[in-house]
A and B are shown apart, each in its own frame.
Chain A
Amino acid sequence: MSETRPVRIAVDIGGTFTDLQILDARQGQVVAWKTPTTPADPSEGLFRGVQDAAARFGFALADVGLLLHGTTIATNAVLERKLARGVLLTTAGFEDVLEITRHVRRDIYGLAPDPFPCLIERDLRIGVPERIRADGSVEIPLGDLAPVIARLKAAAPEAVAIGLLHAYANPAHERALRDAVAAALPGVPVSLSSEVSPEIREYERLSTTVLNALLMPVVQRYLQRLEARLGEGGFHPRIFLVQSNGGMCSLRRAAEQPARLLLSGPSGGALAAERLSRRLERPNLVAVDMGGTSFDVSVVQDHRIGLVTQGEVDRLPVRLPMVEMRTIGAGGGSIASVDASGRLTAGPRSAGARPGPVCYGRGGEEPTVTDAHAVLGRFDPDFFLGGAMRLDMDAARAAVRARIGDRLGLSVEQAAEGILRVTNAQLAAAVRLSLFEKGLDPRDFALLSFGGAGGLHATDVADELGIAEVVFPREPGTLSAYGILFSDLVQDLARSRLFPADPAHAEEIAASLAALKAEALERLAEDGVPESRRAVELAADLRYRGQAFELLVPWPEAPDLPALLARFHAAHRARFSYAAEGEPVEIVTLRASAIGRFDKPDETPPAPPEAPPAPAPRRVWDGTAEAEWPVWRRETLRAADRVAGPAIIEEAFATHVIGRGWTAALHPDGAIIARRTA
């Protein structure tokens, strides 16, 4: 949307740091800033970061027109169970669906399983006499609510979730219940499954609705604190929050539907990958974000990031659109160990931020992937995190020697190399599987490496995959914030109803679609999006009759049914290697994304320096012997410079290894691009 004030800020609040990226339209430059996160009230660190950045980069708080905010507050509230105490009202006879779950186990050899989490216990799940059928007709009208309301009042909940069978097809009973609850418990937040996730499959819809209800008080409290900081020093931007689908939403929408924030953490990185894919003219990118504890893989194909219709947090399904992501527990903090059978493993156990790797000197005793890099001389102990932390190299060596090398009969360097090789094999396997399950070939992709630890592994992982190009973007440590900076307002709407996708139902489908589209436009108007910036993208979930899962298919030609079917068959063939064009197809869910486009001011890459860089030699361990590798400072690189591997490129919050056989150069956009040359 248009905004006359020149400064736009994207904030991504992580566990340790709050990352900012700032675009000042007057210069067109994007700058980055980092400040420690304040877990007790994250808005405090956010505001401090903005103030510091204003002072550092010379803008006034009153110049800030937009604040785009990524937050893990909802996710953390679930993981730490700091949730409201809630009651679930559901169809009588089905009160246990929330506890029964879908019950497939993941650890097939485990003898002492933990139950799937269930956020509302049985005595707070209240059955309501009523029944709606799959076609939306009423089989049993809503019965006497007096006993239900009496139990509800006795429970004195902080939030109420309402989820009835087939409410996606007919929300009348849920709405009537909401009115009854509002009358009995004024001011208590209520979530309706027909509004939060109006999709078929009762357990997934209930799980999402319950999460939403229990998060409402938590997120509303945070948003109030955030708003309370507005006005200070003329700071009065319009604020939007990042959702799991990679789009922004207004504060009001976030307060009503906090479940949409639940898996927003990785979406900034994916958005950045999508934007970089266009700026660097690389339509196919596989983006890998490696931080302290995890390795996230997302795929950009033909300049578009993939979305899925469901994700999960702590084994709880969240049935809402989100960025497609594969995560494995491998990061700089992953702990290496040797088990009883003499096997060397790395991860998924992590030393986390505390105590962290041994070389951080914060009490960590078990060697980590970061310690392995330290042993091999990949870091300058005096310039880690831009000099913010001194590394204890001796402690790292001692830990790798004692816990890995001695137990396997290897030298400390061999042991460290081993930790990295085992880790790289895992990373490559995760990337291969992410591409593979879509029927894609790694050789058609460039690897986009970011996150604090990504650059140390990128060319090695690319080698394992047969990928010939690696992109190291600018500011790899705050790339998520960069992605957020260029995002749009997006609201996803869905309507589940099983339709045969045939001409006999075309009219019914078109009517449903028109209603959905009208609702989408209405939402955009509510959010104050000017008409010229509104867009609605339509899609449908389809399957062959008899299948139990669906494929999400974009439908730009809506309501042209043959066009949709052609897209479905093509998508099915691409992903599953066959299409059954003669078989009946069903539409399970119709979808609309209401998009309010923000301005996309062009960014000006920073001017490269004039003086030639002066790479300094560093003693490192190179496979079998000590060697000297040149170490380049990223900010000194110029367009004409060529960094031939093996070499190291350092910057404040990241270290990149350019492997043997690779040559890296600066792209005009500011990214470093390494190519396999030998």
Chain B
Amino acid sequence: MTAASLGPIEIEVIRNGLTAAAAEMDVTVWRTSRSTIVRELLDYSTAVFDAEGRNLAQSARIPSHLNSMTHALRTLLAEYVPPEAWNEGDVVIFNDPYCGGQHLPDILAFRAVFHEGRRIAFVGTLCHHIDVGGLAAGSYAAKATEIFQEGLRIPPVKLIEAGKRNDAVWAMIRQNIRKPDLLLGDLNSQLASLEVGLAAVLRLARRFGAAAMIEAGERILAMSEAGMRAAIAAMPDGIYEFQDFLDDDGIALGQPIRLHVRLTIAGDEAVVDLSGCSPQAAGPVNATLASSSAAVMFALMCCAEPGLHMSAGCYRPIRVIAPEGLVVNARHPAPVAHRIAVGHRLLNAMMGALHQVVPQKVPAAYYGNSYVTTFQTVAENGAREVLVEIEIGGSGAHPSKDGVNAYASGMHNNSNIPVEMIEAQLPLTVTRYALRDGSGGAGQFRGGLGLVREWRVDSPRCFFTANMDRFDRAPYGLAGGGEAARGALVLRRDGVETPVPPKTDNLPLVKGDVVRLETSGGGGFGPAAQRAPEAAARDRRLGYV
């Protein structure tokens, strides 16, 4: 088939085929990966790109990954491995945030697809690996002050060259990480996934031909672009500003970090100027442009009409201005392990600006946090067990309905760990797991409730690590709606309660200690006075307020 004979039917068949390719790649990672973080927290994403590195189709995984991969691959092609340097059978990997990545645990792997002697596509996977070395197990040190402390940095290298493993690279990685079997196992699953994606794209290419595949890619991008432009064109022109804050970076305590957005809507284009954000932080609460752009793009893509095909075409009418040296575009060698905190808050800020643009669509702030807690229990004989939990909070109230209690929102999307599983495996007891009364912002529509979770230490000793935010700056309400409750982290020992700092490394605990986390709900929407009496009565009956 020639490119010229491609009709809308063929385009849709190819688009479906590329989406199915991303889904098959997704299943392959799930099927073949080794670590819990990839397999059970599903912390990975897969995607198909055109020959220039632009995303054509995505798996339904993690928003913060998916819309960063185009940036990563385009940077790779422009600055490190130019298109003509890719040969059949090459796989390039890297994790360096300063080469287009996000943070060190995320290893990206790309492979080019050739057909009829030309490059027609790339396939790519991104996996969050369990550990890449550095100061702390899991490569998530809360107190790192430069990236060299955060783990092994892999610049763009050919892990596989013309089908042959580059043994020196494998050996170099193995020597620098804590769980080599798990990491290399997961890396192998990324390679298997690329193989599957390649086969799926080639199935289409054999049917339609190289020229048609390239043309179809352009048309898919154009289709997404048209959908995104239509969404922006429907927004009133103007300049909209909003800001929100992270409490601090865990090093300079009490120094808020500003995420400021200046959104300009002009015709069918949007410019997002992040120049008003704080300078980069000393601690690991920094993001590279790959992370920040993902939050900006995600916010605008959420405001498009349902059914829009999500691809790099959506990014075309959007320009991001983010001077280097800011918290949203950190300069080497700033630490970036907790880049997700910046992503959450930047998304909160973007939504606050978009509320002024499309007030009928945008909800109040969600909790805006990945509440990461780690318990390292130590038995009498010194045996150690580790529990890593990521809690969530409530979603923001929508202009037409209440927020959802306990709902994974925004930049991440994770599940919880069953209480019974924890207790069957670790010397810990969960003594309470509940919705947190009154934590949703008041309003005509109420914000979703956050959570309360309590852990009791049953081992002689335990080390507790936490990284969270929104203890000082609450999730905002909109249109007169109230803000949600701030978070709280409390240690109860011998009947006495004391607050625990939200960014804590290795706090020693003893048997019988209870740690209680209270997470934020979502902000409210509209004045509380306008809440329907029956809705208010229901809140009281159910004890939500």
**Interface residues, chain A, CB within 8 Å of chain B?**
93-97, 99-106, 108-115, 121-123, 133-134, 139, 165-166, 168, 200-204, 338-345, 408, 410, 414, 417-418, 421-422, 425-426, 429, 432-433, 436-437, 439, 498, 546-549, 575-578, 580
Contacts and interface: CB of A to CB of B under 8 A. Distances in A.
B16 A429 contact: yes
Interface stretch (B244-252, B285-293, B420-428): B420-428
B8 A408 contact: yes
Residue of A111, A340, A421 most packed against chain B (CB within 10 A): A111
Given A94-B434, A123-B543, A202-B419, A108 B413 contact: yes
Contacts of A103: 392, 406-408, 415-416
Residue of A134, A408, A575 most packed against chain B (CB within 10 A): A134
Contact of A408 (B7, B223, B226): B7
Contacts of B408: 103-105
B321 interface: no
B404 interface: yes
A432 B16 CA distance: 13
B27 A109 contact: no
Nearest to A106: B60
B513 interface: no
A201 B420 contact: yes
Given A122-B542, A341-B223, A578-B185, A111 B433 contact: no
B280 interface: no
A168 B420 CA distance: 10
A560 to B, nearest CB: 25
B395 interface: yes
A37 B433 CA distance: 45
Contacts of B9: 344, 408, 410, 414, 417-418, 421-422
Nearest to A127: B434
Given A106-B60, A433-B24, 4 more contacts: A103-B416, A410-B7, A437-B31, A576-B31
B52 to A, nearest CB: 21
B417 interface: yes
Contacts of A345: 12, 307
Interface stretch (B94-102, B147-155, B297-305): B297-305
Contact of A342 (B17, B223, B421): B223
Interface string B281-323: 0000000000000000010011101111110000000000000
Contacts of B7: 408, 410, 414, 418
B142 to A, nearest CB: 24
B365 to A, nearest CB: 12
A103 to B, nearest CB: 5
B407 A339 contact: no
B393 to A, nearest CB: 10
Contacts of A580: 34
A103 B405 CA distance: 9
Nearest to A167: B420
Contacts of B418: 200-204
Q: List the 9 shortest-distance A-B pairs measured between CB atoms, nearest first.
A: A418-B9, A429-B20, A548-B40, A134-B424, A122-B542, A93-B432, A341-B227, A498-B424, A201-B418
A96 B185 CA distance: 38
Contact of B425 (A498, A575, A576): A498
Contacts of A437: 27, 30-31
Nearest to B404: A115
Interface in B367-395: 392, 395
Interface residues of B, number: 82
Contacts of B63: 108-109
6 contacts: A93-B431, A99-B405, A123-B543, A429-B23, A439-B31, A577-B31
B358 to A, nearest CB: 10
Nearest to A466: B203
B494 to A, nearest CB: 19
A106 B63 CA distance: 12
A20 B237 CA distance: 63
B146 to A, nearest CB: 32
Nearest to B39: A547
Contacts of A410: 7-9
A678 B227 CA distance: 42
A100 B406 contact: yes
Contacts of B309: 341, 343
B363 interface: yes
B356 interface: no
Interface string B57-92: 000111100000000000000000000000000000
B409 A105 contact: yes
B8 A418 contact: yes
B184 to A, nearest CB: 11
Given A134-B424, A577-B32, A112 B363 contact: yes
B13 interface: yes
B400 interface: yes
A218 to B, nearest CB: 25
Given A341-B223, A498-B425, A548-B40, A100 B405 contact: yes
Contacts of A110: 302, 306
Residue of A121, A425, A439 most packed against chain B (CB within 10 A): A425
Nearest to A420: B9
A421 B305 contact: no
Contacts of A201: 418, 420-421
B192 A577 contact: yes
A94 B20 contact: no
A432 B192 CA distance: 17
Nearest to B540: A123
Contact of B36 (A108, A200, A426, A546): A546
B420 A202 contact: yes
Given A100-B406, A105-B413, A576-B32, A112 B401 contact: yes
Given A94-B419, A101-B406, A549 B434 contact: no
Contacts of B308: 341
A384 to B, nearest CB: 26
A342 B363 CA distance: 29
Nearest to B411: A108
A115 B440 CA distance: 15
Contacts of A134: 420, 423-424
Nearest to B230: A340
B404 to A, nearest CB: 5
B414 A104 contact: yes
Contact of B16 (A408, A422, A549): A422
A97 B404 CA distance: 14
B361 interface: yes
B301 A102 contact: no
A341 B36 contact: no
A112 B400 contact: yes
Contacts of B414: 104
Contacts of B419: 94, 97, 165, 202
Contacts of B42: 104
Contacts of B303: 111
A343 B13 CA distance: 11
B31 A200 contact: no
Contacts of B28: 436
Contact of A547 (B16, B19, B40): B40
A436 B421 CA distance: 29
B398 interface: yes
A102 B390 CA distance: 12
A578 B16 contact: no
Given A96-B433, A101-B406, A408-B8, A425 B13 contact: yes
B270 interface: no
Given A410-B7, A418-B7, A112 B398 contact: yes
Nearest to B454: A93
Contact of B417 (A104, A105, A344, A548): A548
A436 B27 contact: yes
B362 interface: yes
A204 B398 CA distance: 29
A549 B17 CA distance: 30
Nearest to A422: B12
B51 interface: no
